[in-house]
Every structure is written in C-alpha cells, then in structure tokens.
Amino acid sequence: MAGTDKTQASVTGGPAVILIEPQLGENIGFAARAMMNGGLSDLRIVKPRDGWPNPKALAAASGAGLVIETARIFESTAEAVGDLQRVFAMTARPREMIKPVATPRDAASELRHLIDEGHRAGVLFGPERKGLDNDDVALADTVVQAPLNPAHSSMNLGHAVMVMSYEWFQVGDDTRGRFLNEGRTGIATKEELLIFFERLETELDACGFFHVEEKRPIMVRNIRNIFQRAELTEREVRTLHGIVSGLTRRKLGVDEGE
C-alpha cells in the first residue's frame, strides 16, 4: 500500500534492531522498511551472509534507504549489543532458560519506558533458516513471543520486525511499562556485564568448577542468566568485581601461607 508523504517529518530513534546473520538482502530491506514504518532507525547487522553493502537490501527497503545506509555491521552479537543496557530477543521457540517472556505489546511498552528514561535497548532477530541460537538468547534480558497459531507461529524476518515496529509505534510516548527502581545508578551495559562474566568464568575454570567439560556451555549460560535477571547497575557490577578480587586474593594468600 502506498503511504509515503514526504511533506511530513519522519519519526526516528527508538530501540536498536539487531539482525543476526541474515541470509537474504531482500529480507534486510523488508526489515528496514518495517522499521521506518514504526519510526525506528538504529539498524545493526551481525555477519550478513551475502556481505555488505547489499544492493538487494537497498532495493527492497523501498523508501527506507536511510536505515540501510546508516546500518552498522558487527562480527558478533556480543559486539552488536555491547553498548546496550537492555536486550530483548524475539523467538518463537521455547527455551530451557529462566527468563521473563513478554508479548510484543508488553515488550514495546517496557522498551518505551526504558528509552524514555534514557536507557539504551534493542531487540534481537535471528536468521531466517533457524532463528536465534541459545547463546544469542542468553545475551537477552527478556524473550519476546508473539501469541500466534501454536501450530504455525514462525514468521518471516521482515514480518517479525514489522510486528515489533508496529507495537513500538502504537505504544505512544506516555505509555509506561515495568518500572525500574528509583534512585539506582545507571544500568550496566552488556559490554560491562560480559567483561564480568568472562572474568568470573576464568576464575571458575581455574578452581575446577567446570569439571564436566561437556556441561560447561549450559552452566555458563545458566550463571549468566542468573546475573542478567538481577538487572545489575554499574555500581553493582563493580562490587561483584571486588568480590571476585577479594576471593582470589584470599586464595593466593592461603596458598602462599601453605
């Protein structure tokens, strides 16, 4: 349907849309067009299969060329979400992870509140063939599942982005979702959390905690999910670093005394 009006000021901003390893340039373009419909402009792409820039993506964007032209390319999901403080993952498949699950409408409401409060947030979308893998979902704070036909709930990439873009736009500026505690220091970024996770996992490796190697990936995801559910602030992450430092210094002191 035609609906472009160049006399109107375009709405931009909103949460980042992160496409993980998209396969077809056309689907990237469809996603960009959906973003523009919903007033979203921060497109991040992780390892697009057919390289970048992609002429097919620009052609399919149909008026959303600015979103394509300003898209940022990343080599990993961790890098793409590094500056974000809250991450949502849109997926149709149930996961063996304990995470809050929201509908697109509820997620959009929470995203609106977060961004109104000055926090940086984004939504992950997986590749067309298989969707998000567990390691990507583990980086998210909330899983987003659309209430659709249970026998046929998978969506095309462009459709999935359209659903979230629509709900984001419909929420409106004055609708508020889940409130964060007042008086807290800034929410920790994903990069700050990942640095802490990697340090903690290094120390757990050193003390032999991951003694069953084949279970290590699942245990790592479970540990990370525990901390991500806590909605840690920057100060709390620094405190956790201090705890790890204290424990490791104490261990070194005991070893030297022996």
Distance CA 126, CA 135 (A): 11
Q: How many domains does the chain contain in total?
A: 2
90 and 38 together in one domain:
yes
| Average pLDDT of the residues in 70-99 | 92
| Residue 82: half-sphere exposure toward Cβ, Cα within 13 Å | 9
- HEC assignment per residue over the chain: CCCCCCCCCCCCCCCEEEEECCCCHHHHHHHHHHHHHCCCCCEEEECCCCCCCCHHHHHHHCCCHHHHHCCEEECCHHHHCCCCCEEEEECCCCCCCCCCEECHHHHHHHHHHHHHCCCCEEEEECCCCCCCCHHHHHCCCEEECCCCCCCCCCCCHHHHHHHHHHHHHHHCCCCCCCCCCCCCCCECCHHHHHHHHHHHHHHHHHCCCCCCHHHHHHHHHHHHHHHHHCCCEHHHHHHHHHHHHHHHHHHHHHHHHC
Residue 129: what pLDDT? 86
Tokens representing 150 are: 């249970």
Distance CA 52, CA 70 (A): 12
Asked if the structure places residue 3 within a domain, the reply is: no
91 and 160 together in one domain:
yes
Question: Are 85 and 142 spatial neighbours (Cβ–Cβ below 8 Å)?
Answer: no
120 and 201 together in one domain:
no
Question: Which of the four pLDDT bands, split at 50, 70 and 90, describes residue 32?
Answer: very high
Residue range 199-227, pLDDT digits in tens = 999 999 999 999 999 999 999 999 999 99
Percentage, residues of the chain above pLDDT 90: 75
CB burial string 175-193: b at 16+ within 10 A, e below: eebeebeeeeeebbbbebb
Does the model's pTM come out above 0.85? no
Residue range 159-180, pLDDT digits in tens = 999 999 999 999 874 545 555 5
Asked if the structure places residue 178 within a domain, the reply is: no
| Residue 86: half-sphere exposure toward Cβ, Cα within 13 Å | 28
20 and 107 together in one domain:
yes
Residue 175: what pLDDT? 42
Q: Residue written as tokens 């496409």?
A: 19
> What CATH number did the domain enclosing 156 receive?
3.40.1280.10
Residue 86 has pLDDT above 80, yes or no: yes
93 and 213 together in one domain:
no
Distance CA 42, CA 31 (A): 12
Asked if the structure places residue 30 within a domain, the reply is: yes
37 and 81 together in one domain:
yes
Residue 254: what pLDDT? 52
Residue 3: what pLDDT? 54
Computed over every residue of the chain, the mean pLDDT equals 89
88 and 195 together in one domain:
no
152 and 230 together in one domain:
no
Asked if the structure places residue 125 within a domain, the reply is: yes
**What dihedral do alpha carbons 94, 218, 17, 99 form, nearest 10°?**
50
Closest CA to 39 of 98, 149, 150, 115: 115
Residue 27 domain boundaries: 16-171
Distance CA 177, CA 250 (A): 44
Question: Which of the four pLDDT bands, split at 50, 70 and 90, describes residue 248?
Answer: confident
22 and 74 together in one domain:
yes
Residue 181 has pLDDT above 60, yes or no: no
